[in-house]
Amino acid sequence: MIFRFQAPSISEALQLARAEIGPDCVVVEVTRDQGSALVAVEGELPRHGAGGASAAQWSGGAATALAPPPRQLRALSPAAEPTCPLERQLRLRGLRPGRVEALLRGLLPNRDPAWRMAQLERRLALLVPSAEATSTPRTLALVGPTGAGKTTTIAKLAAEAKLDRGLEVGFVTIDLFRVAAVDQLQAYANLLDAPLETASNPQELVQALRRLRGCQQVFVDTAGQSPLDDARLSELAAFFSASPEVEAALVLPATAQHSQLEVALERFSACPLASLIVSKLDESVSAGDLVELLAQAPVPLRWVTTGQRVPEDIEDARPRPLARWILNGRLA
């Protein structure tokens, strides 16, 4: 059955769904409307014991059970052979059997192929919690695990702001641990004729931002962190506590496994995350792990990167092109 849960945020709606339906429920749709979030999941409603509360009674959430469609697809197992080209295509792209079944439900019998593909793209697009392509925050810090591509992504965003929109940009790096990290960012700063400041502690970041107050946009580069290093994550969070005007975007590589992506998203939430950036989309041979992450992400996806070229290989995260990438590995 399909159940819908409404709450003030996606994360709260997901908590309601998992608490009521169970942790293995499959998210099939995520929507936002006027300050609330609506999550549709597939699963079976368990029996509650005496006095058990329903999801509709928690945190102001609302749960509505919809009748199953008249024709059900067969349940797929990991070893089951695909029965149609669309199913085969989704499976080849790494999507999980339960996700494939939910996406294709009602699309296969007696339908025009073009209509089926259009509907599938629409359903995939609904799974991508993308942000509106609004202006970049005045002060944006990129955080994430080691090797995610934060410094190169900062260079792309800064070059776009400077070269395409004519803004005065500045850089701050708090990545003083990695060999040549400052030199790499300094090279980009020189190319853009932009100032670069360094900060080794939260107070120095406050001072550095004060010196860059004449810049229209400031980009803060941070050291790559292991999501399992509590001490380093606490140190990183302290920079944001000292400078609350700084927004954080979490950079995650599309090449990572779902378990790695999920842990990183959970652990870096110690920072005030406002958005996600998915890097290395051009290097990923599978879409399934990223789809599962995006379907449950509590913050929207803002940008994707598609190569090493600066500034060309970065794009706004738009649901329809991303749906096409999920299907065939190409944004266009």
Cα 88 to Cα 100, 217, 224, 291: the distances in Å are 9, 46, 37, 17
Q: Is the pLDDT confidence value at 169 over 90?
A: yes
Query: Which pLDDT score, from 0 to 100, does residue 78 have?
Result: 39
Structure tokens at 215: 């810049």
Facing residues of 213 across strands?
A: none
> Which of 1.10.10, 3.60.21, 3.30.70, 1.10.8 is the CATH number of 2-66?
3.30.70
Inter-axis angle of helices 258-267 and 288-296, to 10 degrees? 30
User: Considering the domain 139-328, what is its CATH architecture?
Assistant: 3-Layer(aba) Sandwich (3.40)
Decide: 157 and 164 in contact? Cβ < 8 Å.
no
Element (H, E) at 248: strand 247-253
For 9-41, write each residue's pLDDT tens digit: 676 677 777 777 777 677 766 666 656 677 777
- CATH 3.30.70 domain extents, the chain: 2-66
Residue with the two structure tokens 């067969």: 74
- pTM assigned to the model: 0.74
**Per mean pLDDT, which of 38-47, 91-100, 249-258 is the most reliable?**
249-258
- For the ranges 145-154, 159-168, 177-186, the lowest mean pLDDT is seen at 177-186
Radius of gyration of the chain (CA): 22
CA-based torsion, 295, 249, 144, 93: positive or negative: positive
Burial 108-146 (b: 16+ CB within 10 A, else e): eeeeeeeebbeebbebbbbbbbbbeeeebbebbbbbbbe
User: How far apart, in whole angstroms, are the C-alpha atoms of residue 273 and residue 233?
Assistant: 13
For 273-315, write each residue's pLDDT tens digit: 999 999 999 999 889 899 988 888 888 899 999 988 888 999 9
Q: Give residue 259's identity as a one-letter amino acid code.
A: S
- CATH 3.40.50.300 domain extents, the chain: 139-328
